[in-house]
Structure 1
């Protein structure tokens, strides 16, 4: 267990470094925003591009991988929704945010660095394949469910599924991660290779993704205080850190995924909640404190949950 903790701790220490730098005023909030933008638009896309451009996909099907992960998402999202509605007696909008907060892992800023550090190249391939559909599915599902919940709670007219898909599709078409995924796959299938100078530049930018992502998410955490709905927030935290990775673990075993792929999925499912849950809450003006609290609490306890699942996988 000590060796597992030694592998996991650096990830969360870098998050703590970012949090302390922002909280103490050593670095301004604008610096964190700029760093996060660099990570999202340049560093992580370059890492994804390099991973997929050089990956070997012979005989590999992504459908079992996607199925294993989203079985875990569906189970956890449903559990979060039911807990909010029937145990804590919250309305349908809060229930959607509870389900999303419990099942939307921070795969980009924490999952990728963690898997890179613990699993390695094969794990990065698995996460890159997952990211090809993770954001579209989660944002489409979250938006459609919140539109429906808003219609019930507020009496507003829900947009059609087609309108939601059009909006999300337009956003994704400009998303740097999606562009990097497509570019990496095209480059891989083309049979081209990068010459030494270009390859060195790509490698250096990709290498900056992990530390920069972790420091930037730490700085961003200062904006998500723990307040209100602590009972529900704590319950959703348990679902996120324990139920979701357990469900992904069971699904990966049942679908007989390769060991490295299963490890990558379980580890990334055990990481703290991503900020997209808060973005959905903010957009629909409901559940902001719940989403913010879950992000902060899952990050605070993330080192324990990730270490536990890394130990289980050894």
Structure 2
């Protein structure tokens, strides 16, 4: 019970604070959007930059962590995608958007603060390794599958699809932060020394990232009230909160992952879908109501699913 109150509850209190502020109209939608733009386009990329720049790949990176986490993610996508078409009788475009929501964990805005409160800042290396390829891999896959799906029966240009996917990924501020951090990591290992003032400034921005993003996320979630499509919402919740972490946990034990890597993989896998799941649907104008509602419902439910996983992890 103490985990719920000392680790999970503070994160959701900040998120709920943003929700209440938006609900009471104390901050306009434009203000919430500006706050989220600051967090996602500036503060969070700096956080990722500093984490990746300082990452010791020799000791912090375990490729089996990726295998365990992303096997669970793609299994969640395939299950949600297939069930949406075969069982729920949704369109193929809707099915891709629902599958995307099922496998795109909120690895950053929820995963990092919960992991940090549970195990300390030193335990974030595994999370950062997962996040480093999370958006590039899943966005590239999602955009590619959606473009192929929409091009059914048309003359399919593989070059157009590839360029659309690559452009969408490389223009994302989070990816830019990761790539800049990777470049800095290489330069530091080659002997570059940056002044301490540079790192102090980067750390100041990093400390603003998570509370701002959580508060803003609460305000964003206020807009997405659950509406209909109950079975589709339940499907996304089941795949993201149950299927993904169960597969990751099982494979982590099978691969005998070190305890820190297992924690990072399972905690990240147990996160609810991020707002990016809705943004993906909005880009293509499909299944927006399902993904928006699923993000809200699963975020609330994740308070208890994360509590479960934290209670059984070593």
Normalised by the length of structure 1, the TM-score is 0.91
Cα distance in 1 between the residues matched to 2:283 and 2:31: 24
Q: Classify the secondary structure of the residue corresponding to 1:304.
A: helix
Cα distance in 2 between the residues matched to 1:158 and 1:64: 39
Corresponding residue number in structure 2 for 1:291? 291
Any residues of structure 2 matched to 1:182-193 within 5 Å, and which? 182-191=179-188, 192-193=192-193
Deviation at 1:310, TM superposition (A): 1.2
Q: Classify the secondary structure of the residue corresponding to 2:105.
A: coil
Go from structure 1 to structure 2 and tell me whether the alpha carbon gap of 1:111 and 1:60 turns closer, same or farther (over 3 Å shift): closer
Q: Deviations over 1:242-270 (max 9, x none)?
A: 11111111122222322112211211211
Instruction: Give the alignment partner of residue 172 of structure 2, picking from 170, 175, 192.
Output: 175
Any residues of structure 2 matched to 1:1-314 within 5 Å, and which? 1-59=1-59, 61-152=61-152, 157=154, 159-191=156-188, 192-314=192-314
Deviation at 1:61, TM superposition (A): 4.4
Q: Deviations over 1:260-293 (max 9, x none)?
A: 1221121121111112222222222221111111
Deviation at 1:4, TM superposition (A): 4.4
Cα distance in 1 between the residues matched to 2:119 and 2:147: 38
Unaligned runs of 5+ in 1: none
Measured on the aligned residues, the alpha-carbon RMSD in Å equals 2.0
Go from structure 1 to structure 2 and tell me whether the alpha carbon gap of 1:226 and 1:161 turns closer, same or farther (over 3 Å shift): farther
Deviation at 1:232, TM superposition (A): 1.9
Go from structure 1 to structure 2 and tell me whether the alpha carbon gap of 1:166 and 1:19 turns closer, same or farther (over 3 Å shift): same
Deviation at 1:187, TM superposition (A): 2.2
Are the counterparts in 2 of residues 144 and 161 from structure 1 also a CA contact under 8 Å? Answer: no
Q: Classify the secondary structure of the residue corresponding to 1:19.
A: helix
Deviation at 1:226, TM superposition (A): 0.8
Deviation at 1:91, TM superposition (A): 2.5
Deviation at 1:59, TM superposition (A): 4.9
Deviation at 1:76, TM superposition (A): 0.8
Deviation at 1:306, TM superposition (A): 1.2
Go from structure 1 to structure 2 and tell me whether the alpha carbon gap of 1:161 and 1:68 turns closer, same or farther (over 3 Å shift): farther
Q: Classify the secondary structure of the residue corresponding to 1:108.
A: coil
Are the counterparts in 2 of residues 119 and 264 from structure 1 also a CA contact under 8 Å? Answer: no
Go from structure 1 to structure 2 and tell me whether the alpha carbon gap of 1:252 and 1:162 turns closer, same or farther (over 3 Å shift): farther
**Number of aligned pairs?**
311
Are the counterparts in 2 of residues 140 and 164 from structure 1 also a CA contact under 8 Å? Answer: no
Unaligned runs of 5+ in 2: none
Q: Classify the secondary structure of the residue corresponding to 2:57.
A: coil
Cα distance in 2 between the residues matched to 1:266 and 1:9: 19
Cα distance in 1 between the residues matched to 2:61 and 2:197: 33
Cα distance in 2 between the residues matched to 1:161 and 1:122: 43
Cα distance in 1 between the residues matched to 2:282 and 2:228: 16
User: Structure 1 segments of 4 or more deviating over 4 A?
Assistant: 59-62
